[in-house]
Amino acid sequence: MGDQDQSPYQNQNQNQDYVGLESYVVIHNIAKRHNVGTLARSATAFGISEVILVGRRDFNAFGSHGSTCHIRFRHFYSLSDARLFLKEKDCDICGVEITDNATAVGSHPFRKSTAFLLGNEGSGLSAKECQVCDYFVYIPQYGCGTASLNVTVAASIILHHFAVWAGFPERTRDGNKFVVAERPVHKVGRNFCTESAESVTEERKLKRENDAKNGFFEEMDGSDSSNNLLNAVFGD
Amino acid sequence: MGDQDQSPYQNQNQNQDYVGLESYVVIHNIAKRHNVGTLARSATAFGISEVILVGRRDFNAFGSHGSTCHIRFRHFYSLSDARLFLKEKDCDICGVEITDNATAVGSHPFRKSTAFLLGNEGSGLSAKECQVCDYFVYIPQYGCGTASLNVTVAASIILHHFAVWAGFPERTRDGNKFVVAERPVHKVGRNFCTESAESVTEERKLKRENDAKNGFFEEMDGSDSSNNLLNAVFGD
């Protein structure tokens, strides 16, 4: 246990350079919709700012254990629109893929706020998806029994490393569990999860700053029925 | 990216002190049997030696993507028998739980070959389970939306860190996938997965070294019907 004191993990919480860093997950046409539910649970555990869905809007919240209510989802019809949004936020786009030039995630090749683009469960990142990435990370494997990891497992390991690197403040605990926030109060029904007042204000600010074509969420009091539909699947 | 060269990860593969290290996963009465399948996929990815089932023998291989054929499973009826077996192998037993004295896994508090004891999905490790542990690790969380991680996600992050710390040699890749070994040849049928000749030899050696009461697997040509039954669920 001697190396504990020298670990880079211990210092990063105190490093002021890391303040304001954010992480995002970008999911492009994920094949197994139930993977999004478990992914949402890890995403909130590791402090990500938003889950960005590109292409198909629908998913299954199974496995989220209610986490989807605490996560902001954003939808774009195209990858280039998602890229534009992230670049306006000065984010790196990091592909999670075993490419020749990918860096092992444990070496923490991060530089600033980062959006992690996950490949489809079967085929990984396509050539088109790779083109929007600034760099790539991969998770080393050591055994003979599987070609790749489950997509949620892979995303969780990556997001965990980013949170450690970024020095996100650790969540308060109560006994042997982390404290879960109250569900947002403006709840329309069991399967509806609305934005908090704070997030609505932020959303409006973002709207002013960005092009309307990027497909932002409307607040729940808006009239966009497709966004209501998307919100409807957030509950578990 | 400047801290990459100083990362402890880069050096550990060359550290001869780490040769011969092994990792194990110990599952005691896991509630959701389908979790074992996905866990098996991560377990082989991160080079674990065996999955040890304590208590109930049955599980569901869904989610393993065939990985269960490449993993050695061992069963014990009691936690104290499992502990005896692991201590004869000079293993630490590390509980994965958010206890007051748990260390964040990223600081790599490992000392030697280690078996990781996972808690039940709902309640975590019981007092009795905590008693067999030499120390505890936990995975820091940062967001407000979940009290804990999915059990497979948690195990995967822990095993990933141990493999990095232990300097396990990385698996060969073919394109953007890691190479999967052939399925063992002595296959009785689709749902049967037998031991390789090498593992049978090793098994026999272990048998000589250890007390028969510890509940070792028999080879498939043996007459133990309950072991055959256990093997029968390894296929997917």
Mean pLDDT of all residues in A192-216: 46
Q: Which residue has the tokens 């394109």?
A: B175
B92 domain residue, yes or no:
yes
pLDDT of A199 higher than 50: no
Q: B10: distance to nearest CA of chain A, Å?
A: 8
Q: A153: distance to nearest CA of chain B, Å?
A: 5
User: What is the rounded CA–CA span in Å between residue B49 and residue B20?
Assistant: 11
B63 touches chain A (CB under 8 A): yes
Q: Distance of CA A140 to CAs B85, B150, B167, Å?
A: 29, 21, 11
B13 domain residue, yes or no:
no
- Is B7 close to A179, i.e. CB distance below 8 A? no
Q: Which helix or strand (DSSP H or E) is residue B83 part of?
A: helix B79-88
Mean pLDDT of all residues in B14-38: 74
B45 domain residue, yes or no:
yes
pLDDT of B214 higher than 90: no
What CATH number corresponds to the domain at position A187?
Answer: 3.40.1280.10
Confidence of residue B180 (pLDDT cuts 50, 70, 90): confident
DSSP B214: G
Mean pLDDT of all residues in A163-169: 95
Predicted local confidence at residue B68, as pLDDT:
72
A19 touches chain B (CB under 8 A): no
Predicted local confidence at residue B196, as pLDDT:
40
Interface of A with B in 77-116 (CB under 8 A): 97-99, 103-104, 106-109, 111
Nearest CB neighbour to A157, from listed B65, B156, B178: B156
Q: Which residue of chain B is at minimal alpha-carbon distance from A102?
A: B176
3-class secondary-structure state, position A129:
helix
A63 touches chain B (CB under 8 A): yes
Q: pLDDT tens digits for B122-132? A: 778 999 999 99
Nearest CB neighbour to A45, from listed B44, B146, B171: B146
Which has more confidence, B111 or B236?
B111
Mean pLDDT of all residues in A81-102: 95
Mean pLDDT of all residues in A52-70: 72
Q: Which of A57-71, A98-112, A200-214 has the highest mean pLDDT?
A: A98-112
A181 touches chain B (CB under 8 A): yes
pLDDT of A191 higher than 60: no
* Residues above pLDDT 90, as percent of chain B: 39
Nearest CB neighbour to B3, from listed A8, A70, A176: A8
A70 touches chain B (CB under 8 A): yes
pTM score over 0.90: no
Which has more confidence, B62 or A129?
A129
- Inter-helix orientation angle B151-166/A35-45, to 10°: 60
Whole-number average pLDDT of chain B? 74
Q: Distance of CA A145 to CAs A135, B40, B228, Å?
A: 28, 9, 21
Q: pLDDT tens digits for A224-236? A: 333 333 333 333 2
B189 touches chain A (CB under 8 A): no
B185 domain residue, yes or no:
yes
Predicted local confidence at residue B123, as pLDDT:
77
B166 domain residue, yes or no:
yes
Q: Which of A121-130, B149-158, B199-208, B213-222 has the lowest mean pLDDT?
A: B213-222
Predicted local confidence at residue A145, as pLDDT:
83
Q: B204: distance to nearest CA of chain A, Å?
A: 22
Mean pLDDT of all residues in A62-87: 85
A235 touches chain B (CB under 8 A): no
Nearest CB neighbour to B147, from listed A109, A148, A178: A178
Token digits of residue B2: 């400047």
Mean pLDDT of all residues in B51-78: 78
- Is B153 close to A153, i.e. CB distance below 8 A? yes
Q: Please, which residues have CB within 8 angstroms of residue B34's CB and are 6 or more apart in sequence? A: B60, B62, B63
Q: pLDDT tens digits for B80-103? A: 999 999 999 999 999 999 999 999
Which has more confidence, B15 or A113?
A113
Mean pLDDT of all residues in B53-60: 72
Domain, as residue range, for A83: 21-236
User: What is the rounded CA–CA span in Å between residue A104 and residue A108?
Assistant: 8
Number of domains composing chain B? 1
Mean pLDDT of all residues in B109-132: 90
Q: Which residue has the tokens 């599952």?
A: B27
